[in-house]
Amino acid sequence: MSDVVIRVKNLSKRYRIGQREPYKTLRDVIANTATAPFRRLRQSSIKGNPDSKYIWALKDVSFEVKHGEVIGIIGPNGAGKSTLLKILSRITTPTEGYAEIHGRVGSLLEVGTGFHPELTGRENVYLSGAILGMKKREIDEKFDEIVKFAEVEKFIDTPLKHYSSGMQVRLAFAVAAHLEPEILLVDEVLAVGDAAFQKKCLGKMGDVAKEGRTVLFVSHNMGAINRLCRRAFWLDGGRIVTDGDTEYVVSQYLMSDAGANGQVSWEGGISNPGVDELKIFSVRVLDSNGQITSNLDVRKPFSVEIHYTIKKPLPYCRVGFLLSTVEGVPVFEAYDADNEKYAGRREPGEYIAKCEIPAYLLNPGSYILSVNAGMPNIKNLASLQGLLTLCIEDTGAVGSHLPDKRKGIIRPKLRWRCKKI
């Protein structure tokens, strides 16, 4: 018997731009099938591109996943990652091609996937288990473990519509991970939870992988992808760019043009789902002359600038960034609340936070910049992973003529006193 549990062949998904696909009855499907040859003939005689009204979210995607594999799926926003998981979860149908899935599938694609807002947390756990094909006895055995993991014991008999987005995603992840589906599909939803719960979820996913279950994990957190997955897909423009060893695929993706111009911005602002009190509008990297760039001189300082707004008073709010190596190793974290003036209650208004990184701090190489905002132990407001790729260039620094670069992530230029005796 083959150990392939997911087989995808020439999978494509097309959406109409600016207009919803109309609801079709059986009569419409039969009529459209009968007239399809005539429509194609008519379209071929019309000047212009008939596909100009459509966008291909996925195009000719093919791959196989074996039992027990943990696959990371990476790529920029709009690459088709979520569409792929929705097709594998049978939420949406492909336009072309097909996908074969052998095994019970559990999916966590967005906050509260498969939950009903009018039902209590308890009722939703049993509903989700029933949808997965679990017997009541099996759900009973896992129920206490699920509730404890989700940390919602006090609210388990409260209707889900009264839960915060973080509480919903905690319960949804707990159900998806504990009811033992043979295949687990997880989209980038863990950013909704706080840092401690994210760590807890990643640990649980690691346990699921060790149990021999198959996992497809979409994330912008390259460190998590590297830790959990041995194989990864890089999706871009609806196509698989690279499929292979995780470290190789991640390094190729991070060294691509994504974020290479030194800035990223959002016209209407961005934050975690369900967050309105804070919006981030742009993140920029500036060289010592104030120019936007991602290529930096090791001998000169550079700055990270974050533009954001706050709509209501926030206690202990902080906005900052994490700098990591391309392998996902954290280098350091910094927050604007390190300035004592902004360490307590943050008032509404528009802010530009700017942090200067001194010269000679980082070893030459590539680094990943992620931005975070939140109130520690209260609420995570924004978690923007892998926004920009920085390249620290060796441009004649002391010791650069030597064949081996200095070991370590940092290479500070320290003060030495040396005298001949």
Q: Per-domain residue ranges for the chain?
A: 4-13+60-254, 263-393
Burial 274-300 (b: 16+ CB within 10 A, else e): ebebbbbbbbbbbbeeeeebbebbbbe
| Whole-angstrom distance, CA of residue 86 vs CA of residue 40 | 29
Please write the tens of the pLDDT for every residue from 286-314.
Answer: 999 899 988 888 889 999 999 999 999 99
What distance in Å separates the CA atoms of residue 13 and residue 304, rounded to the nearest whole number?
Answer: 38
pTM over 0.85: no
For residue 34, give the 3-state DSSP assignment. helix
- Between 40 and 381, the more confident residue is 381
Q: Is 153 left (phi over 0), alpha (psi -120 to 50) or beta?
A: alpha
SS3 track for 143-194:
HHHHHHHHCCHHHCCCEHHHCCHHHHHHHHHHHHHHCCCCEEEECCCHHHCC
| 163-201 pLDDT per residue, tens | 887 788 788 888 877 877 788 888 876 655 566 777 777
pLDDT of residue 34: 62
CA distance between the termini of the chain: 78
CATH 3.40.1180.10 is the classification of domain 263-393: no
- Fold annotation for 4-13+60-254: Rossmann fold (3.40.50)
Does position 386 have pLDDT exceeding 50, yes or no? yes
For residue range 204-221, list pLDDT tens digits in order.
877 877 888 899 998 877
Give every CB contact of residue 1 below 8 A, 6+ residues apart in sequence: none
Q: Rounded distance, CA 368 to CA 119, Å? A: 42
